[in-house]
Amino acid sequence: MKVRYDSEADILYIFVKEGNIKDTIEVSDDLFVEYDEDDHIAGIELWQARKNLLPELMSYAELATKAAVDVKK
């Protein structure tokens, strides 16, 4: 599983598994669940993440994203 936070779009991405996305279900205005070809959850998108998540969790997501970017450099 990978977690990435896009601070410009304020979207938290949770990648559960790699693969092609077959379908995306809108669970609520800000929550989307992506399914693979076998109907398993492949990813989760949380829009307006700053509003919808606890501040502590957002800081962890930002740190994890920064660490992943730093490793790729």
- The number of distinct structural domains making up the chain is 1
Torsion angles phi and psi, residue 52, rounded to 5: -95, -10
Instruction: Tell how strand 41-47 and strand 31-36 pair up.
Output: antiparallel
Amino acid of residue 26 = E
Q: What is the pLDDT of residues 21-50, one digit of tens each?
A: 999 999 999 999 999 999 999 999 999 998
Q: Is 53 helix (H, G, I), strand (E, B) or coil?
A: coil
CB 33 within 8 A of CB 25: yes
Q: Which domain holds residue 7?
A: 2-72
4-17: pLDDT as tens digits: 999 999 999 999 99
